[in-house]
Amino acid sequence: MVVFPELNEPLRDECIALRFFCERDIPEILIAYQDDPAMHERLGEERPPSGAELGRLAERGASDRAAGARVTLTIVEPGSDDCRGEIRVHNVDPGGRQAELGVWVVPEARGRGYARRALALAGAWLFRCCGLERLAVLTETDNEPMLRTAAAAGFVREGILRGYTRERTRRIDCVVMSLLPDDLGTAR
C-alpha cells in the first residue's frame, strides 16, 4: 500500500525545503502561470488553473494523501514560506508501488537547481516513507531542461513513448525517465 505520511518537519537540504501544498500557495502559483504563459502546456494542462480549481485541490489535499492517491509538495527557500514551485506525485499505482512525478519552478527561481534538489528530496522520501519502489518523470522529447534536471537527480532515461499523450488535437511523444531506490546514489 502507498501511504503519504504527515510531515512533522519539511523535507530539506541546504538550499530548499518541501512541505505539503496548501491554500496560501495559490497566489504565487497563479503568478507563476501568468509569468510563464507556456507553463501549463509543459505540465500537460489544457489551460492554467483558476484560483477556485487550486482551492479545491488544497481542500482535497489531506484526503488525497490519506487515500494514497496523490500528493503535492511545495518548494520553498530556507527562511521563507513562499511557494517557489511544486513537486506533484500523481498516477499512483499502489499495486505496482510506482508513481509519476512532475515538477515546476517559478520563472525567477529557475536555473538554481531547485527542481533537481526537489526531485531528489521527494524521491528519497517517497521510497523511504511512502512504500513506493519506482518513480517516473514523463516529458516531451524537446524539453531539454527537464531531461537534464531529471538526469541530474538520478533518473535514468528509458526511452520514448510514441504518441503517449493527446494535447490540443495531436498526439505527443514523451520521454520516460525512471528512478529506483538504488539510483539515488547516482544523483549529481
**Please, which pLDDT band fits residue 185 given cuts at 50, 70 and 90?**
low
The bridge status of strand 98-105 relative to strand 85-93 is antiparallel
As a whole number, the mean pLDDT across the chain is 94
DSSP for the chain, please give it.
-------SS-EE-SS-EEEE--GGGHHHHHHHHHH-TTHHHHTT-SSPPPHHHHHHHHHHHHHHHHTTS-EEEEEE-TT--S--EEEEEEEEETTTTEEEEEEEE-GGGTTSSHHHHHHHHHHHHHHHHS---EEEEEEETT-HHHHHHHHHTT-EEEEEEEEEEEETTEEEEEEEEEE-GGGGGG--
Percent of the chain whose predicted confidence (pLDDT) is above 90: 87
**Please, which pLDDT band fits residue 165 given cuts at 50, 70 and 90?**
confident
Q: Which fold has domain 11-135?
A: Aminopeptidase (3.40.630)
What pLDDT digit, counting tens, does each position of 19-64 carry?
A: 999 999 999 999 999 999 999 988 888 899 999 999 999 999 999 9
Domain boundary assignment for the chain: 11-135
pLDDT of residue 46: 86
pLDDT of residue 188: 47
pLDDT of residue 187: 52
pLDDT of residue 186: 55
pTM greater than 0.75 = yes
pLDDT of residue 169: 78
pLDDT of residue 170: 84
d(CA 167, CA 164): 10
